[in-house]
Amino acid sequence: MTTPTLDFTPPTADAVIAKVREIAAEAPAFVYSETDEHDGPTCRYVKNGEGSCIVGKALVALGVPVDFFDRPSVSGSPLNTVGIWQSTLRDLLGWQRDLNNDWLQAVQAQQDVGCAWGIAVEFADKRCPLS
């Protein structure tokens, strides 16, 4: 499978982690709650033309265009709702499946079950220590 050419330079996973930490530090008690059309919980990287979840906010702040998330994943779902661990998203961003990706996955997963952003980052630091 050929990776499509992007019209932007993807941020590194390290840069996204730093931005996620910054966003969480600015709003540690924030609890993300987004629902789908059936009122079930869902994570969206972007909504209404801006970053929505913590990872989406970081990616958009680092220059990933919001329309990037309209692209289909391997399953056909838009990238906007697939997990950061999904190979389509990782491949497009040029990332490897590694501890950085696992850390971002841990933050995203904790956010998605209703943890405050500060707690989600603390959990990821314990689950996937980066240093």
Its pTM stands at 0.90
Strands (E), the chain: 46-47, 50-51
Q: If pLDDT is split at 50, 70 and 90, which confidence band does 129 have?
A: very high
Q: How far apart are CA 59 and CA 25, in angstroms?
A: 16
For the chain, the domains span 13-127
Q: How far apart are CA 115 and CA 33, in angstroms?
A: 10
- Tell me the pLDDT tens digit for each residue of 17-48: 999 999 999 999 999 987 666 555 578 899 99
Q: How far apart are CA 44 and CA 80, in angstroms?
A: 5
Tokens representing 110 are 């904790």
CA 51 to chain CA centroid, Å, is: 10
